[in-house]
Amino acid sequence: MTGRLPLTQLRAFEAACRLGSFAAAAQELAVSPSAISHAIRELERMLGTVLFQRSPRKIAPTPEGRTLFQHVTRGFDQLQRGLQEITTAGPARIRVHCAPSFAAQWLSPRLGRFLGLFPAVELKLSASPDYPLFPSEEYDLSIVYGEPRQTDVVAIPLGQETVCPLCAPAIASRVTAIDDLLSVPLVRSDHNRVTWPMWFDANSAIAATPAGPRFDRSFMAIAAAVNGVGVVLESTRLAERELQTGQLVAPLEGRSQSLRHVAHWMVWPKGAERKHAFRCFVTWLVEELDVPRIDFDKAAPGHRAPPG
């Protein structure tokens, strides 16, 4: 079938299929049951196929009807989201997916500032190590650890992070030189891209075999270091609060070489930037991180902005 979409007939079909009744569909759409029946028969004539099995007391979609219902439902959902993106009525929403440690250690503590600046924005924040694929029905934006795997998205690096040994003050008194690390527990974050062997190599030191607990998330490794478990090799961005409050210190600062790398990226599908709430959040985020502002008009899928 080509030409103009039969939206009236499709609305009648979607309601009848979803509610399982011509009468219920008629009540929802404020028309008569005969109008629903006529619209669906017209749609069946246009498509050249039967969409419902009819009996005196009930209807049931045929296999063709079930297939059409899936597509119509997705289509109406997309239309609804498009209307929400451009309307000025109702709450402005932004749905953010985030790497767990970045969410817990850096983003969540700052959200009060964002919501204070934009009280009308409704924010949904989800954290998981899984990378969502765009376009997504769940998220408008994702902050991921490591360079994005998907190529057909806008990808913005969130600046370089400094990685160095960190520990509680009580342990710091025992770590005044690189060799002292051989006699204290070395806490590890299994998914970190910067490892203890890399740090020892950068400091021209014989790599110690890390003897200490292992964690699969940075926020847990940082918490362990705060509690005096050992020395952790971590991002000073993620440990910012603990460093500011004195719960952690960098015992070898000025006496060793720190490592720097782009750890986190912000990604979104082209078109998400049309939403006012999206622009508010992203503009606020880059200002908090003190990284270059984003030209939304030039951001394009497949583009990889330089790490900076």
Instruction: For residue range 228-274, list pLDDT tens digits in order.
Output: 999 999 999 999 999 999 999 999 999 999 999 999 999 999 888 88
Mean pLDDT, range 78-105, rounded to an integer = 78
112 pLDDT exceeds 90? yes
Q: Which two tokens stand for residue 146?
A: 């490591």
The CATH code that applies to domain 7-86 is 1.10.10.10
Kindly state which CATH superfamily the domain 160-262 is placed in.
Periplasmic binding protein-like II (3.40.190.10)
| Beta strand pairing call for 231-235 and 160-166 | antiparallel
> Of the ranges 68-82, 119-133, 170-184, which one carries the lowest mean pLDDT score?
68-82
Instruction: For residue range 18-33, list pLDDT tens digits in order.
Output: 999 999 999 999 999 9
Domain with CATH 1.10.10.10 in the chain: 7-86
Residue 3 DSSP label? S
Domain with CATH 3.40.190.10 in the chain: 92-156+265-289, 160-262
133 pLDDT exceeds 90? no
Which are the contacts of 169, defined by CB distance < 8 A and separation ≥ 6? 246, 249
d(CA 98, CA 127): 5
What pTM was computed for the model? 0.70
d(CA 166, CA 181): 11
Q: For domain 92-156+265-289, is the CATH number 3.40.50.300?
A: no
288 pLDDT exceeds 90? yes
d(CA 62, CA 60): 6
124 pLDDT exceeds 60? yes
Three-class HEC string of 121-163: EEEEEEECCCCCCCCCCCCCEEEEECCCCCCCCEEEECCEEEE
162 pLDDT exceeds 60? yes
294: three-class secondary structure by DSSP:
coil
Mean pLDDT, range 81-96, rounded to an integer = 68
User: In the structure, what pLDDT confidence band is assigned to residue 302 with cuts at 50, 70 and 90?
Assistant: low
